[in-house]
Copies of this chain bind each other. A is one copy, B any other.
Amino acid sequence: MDAVREVAMSVAELEAFLAREFPQAFGPGKPHHVMRVGHRVACVRLDADDSHLRPGGTISGPAMMALADVAVYVALLGQIGPVALAVTTNLSINFLRKPAPGPLFADARIIKLGKRLAVGDVGLRGAGSEDLVAHCVATYSIPDRPAS
């Protein structure tokens, strides 16, 4: 029962909300997919298409930054629900390894959920690997609400 209590939005609710908010990224035929949401965590998958690839087939840096950013956003929405208007104020990313071809997974975790700021970190990895391709920390500004 904990999962019911602890998550403000289900995967299906998040997918529907994101398809409206980010119509280029989420929705039928689009490359981003919410895999999982839990207490202060979320996983988002990117099935890279040509717009995300550099010549040679490597996923571009901006595609990884966008994936990392949205994964923290999804973990945050899972806590505070769809009503909140949250915007990224700071994002810092380290590119660690060249990603292998194939889908990319972003595992995000909220490490602070305050009244005005939320902070999350996120690791990007390929399928079937524990090695991080990139690591990112993002801060979101959120409308005033009780701290939790």
**Stretch from A9-17, A75-83, A100-108, A114-122 that touches the partner:** A114-122
Residues of B within 8 A of A20 (CB): 55
In the complex where A91-B93, A96-B119, A119-B135 touch, is A61 in contact with B69 (Cβ < 8 A)? yes
In the complex where A87-B95, A94-B119, A119-B96 touch, is A135 in contact with B137 (Cβ < 8 A)? yes
Count of A interface residues, CB-CB < 8 Å: 38
| A residues neighboring B (CB under 8 Å) | 20-24, 50-51, 54-55, 60-62, 65-66, 69, 87-97, 111-112, 116-117, 119, 121, 123, 132, 135, 137, 139, 141
Given contacts A21-B55, A89-B139, 11 further A-B contacts (CB under 8 A): A22-B54, A24-B51, A65-B91, A89-B94, A89-B117, A90-B93, A90-B139, A96-B111, A96-B112, A116-B116, A119-B135
